[in-house]
Amino acid sequence: MLFGRALRTFLALSLAILASLASVAPAQAALGGSTSCQPSATSEPFAAIGDPTTYELIPGGDFAGTLAGWSVQGGDALTSSGLSLSPDAVATSPDACVNVVHPTVRFYASATRPGTTIDVAAVLSNPARSVAVPLGSVTPSAMLAPSQQLVLRVPLLGTTAGGVLLGLRFEARGGTAQIDDVYVDPWRSG
């Protein structure tokens, strides 16, 4: 009898969880471009500083002489070591594919003025609208150095098999900042 009650309770909870996931999934798919992500080259670019995570360079994230795919507003300029953002300038990357398994972002940054920060947000879009979800602020050092890992706190539930396409927005605050080599821990990592 006890086994039967435990089994019924387990089944009831499982059905309730599945029902709640089913009601959440359509809303999430409507924003952020749910997709089947395609594999691309990965590396461990931060292994030398103790981060063995496998990352994928986002499209155009190395700024190799072009801003192809990037949306830029304000005083942005390509330099020999990346993208320079004037105070209050905004740069948004092309879409990258992430999911709930390893949703992190990391990049190289620098600023010559103390107190300069870079606000980073995930941008989820569909044809009707875009939503920017703040990921955090990075306070870069004077020399180009790796940022901390930023966790993508966006609606990724249920995207372990596919992924969500999202852009990354970078905004300089308080001074000119430089970013380079923008990576995501991709959907298939781990």
153-175 tens-digit pLDDT: 766 544 445 567 789 999 999 99
Taking the C-alpha atoms of residue 120 and residue 133, their distance in angstroms, rounded to an integer, is 9
Instruction: Please tell me which residue, 4 or 144, carries the higher pLDDT value.
Output: 144
The number of C-alpha atoms within 13 Å of 114 and in the hemisphere containing its C-beta is: 0
Reported as a pLDDT band with limits 50, 70 and 90, residue 139 is very high
76: β partners? 85
- How high is the pLDDT of residue 163? 66
Banded pLDDT at 99 (limits 50, 70, 90): low
Task: List the one residue out of 102, 160, 98 whose CA is nearest residue 123.
Answer: 98
Distance CA 34, CA 32 (A): 6
Instruction: Write a three-state SS string for 100-132.
Output: CCCCEEEEEEEECCCCCEEEEEEEEECCCCEEE
Rounded average pLDDT over 77-102:
85
State the Cα torsion 39-45-49-50 to the nearest 10°. Answer: 20
pLDDT at 35: 52
| Cβ count within 10 A of residue 36 | 9
